[in-house]
Chain A
Amino acid sequence: KAGVTQTPRYLIKTRGQQVTLSCSPISGHRSVSWYQQTPGQGLQFLFEYFSETQRNKGNFPGRFSGRQFSNSRSEMNVSTLELGDSALYLCASSLARNYEQYFGPGTRLTVT
């Protein structure tokens, strides 16, 4: 069974731009969660989607948003990029909420 895939793997953007990251979960998995990882803050929860609905949101500004499609694929969007948004963005999928999560390789975003 194929694992979680994330595209693109690497991205360089300029301050003020916006970016969309994509996540394809493991086949049959219905829950998708997003995390941000930085050297200073570690791994932080962004949001969780289940059945196309955002179920949980971490402590991030409204510039961070996401959505989930009927096939469980998910996207996250960051608008008005700031230098501090440079991070590894990780997506994880699970069969349902409160099951073990399987992570993708991440998207490395660099904001210049």
Chain B
Amino acid sequence: DAKTTQPPSMDCAEGRAANLPCNHSTISGNEYVYWYRQIHSQGPQYIIHGLKNNETNEMASLIITEDRKSSTLILPHATLRDTAVYYCIYGSGNTGKLIFGQGTTLQVKP
């Protein structure tokens, strides 16, 4: 099963950018990187995904390194409501199977 490496926890000041790293050194060339987050006791929420180019949507930006072995999720102006566990995922192939690691607990502080 695919495995990503994320720091267990991070802090960020409210209003500042939160940069969450993920290592996925065994990713294959056609596998997407997905980011989800889970706010306490709620279902995970899809944030963004990408293959090789950087991506941006209304929630976040995703920066993928050229060798695709790592990526960074950027929340440009973190708010208290962004406090959550963030999961970086890849490797389900052409299936609906997501393999969740332990994720990064992001604490946004006032």
Contact = CB atoms under 8 A, between A and B. Distances in A.
Interface string B81-102: 0000001000011111111111
A44 B102 CA distance: 11
Contacts of B101: 42
B45 interface: yes
A110 to B, nearest CB: 14
Interface residues of B, number: 22
Given A43-B100, A100-B49, A90 B43 contact: yes
A94 interface: yes
A80 interface: no
Interface string B66-110: 000000000000000000000100001111111111100000000
A88 interface: yes
Contacts of B45: 103
A50 B44 contact: no
A31 B95 CA distance: 9
A43 B100 CA distance: 6
A56 B43 CA distance: 21
A98 B43 CA distance: 19
Nearest to B34: A100
Contacts of A92: 43-44, 96, 98
A90 B38 CA distance: 12
Interface in B29-66: 32, 34, 38, 41-46, 49
Interface of A: 4, 31-33, 35, 42-45, 48, 50, 55-56, 58, 88, 90, 92, 94, 97-98, 100-106
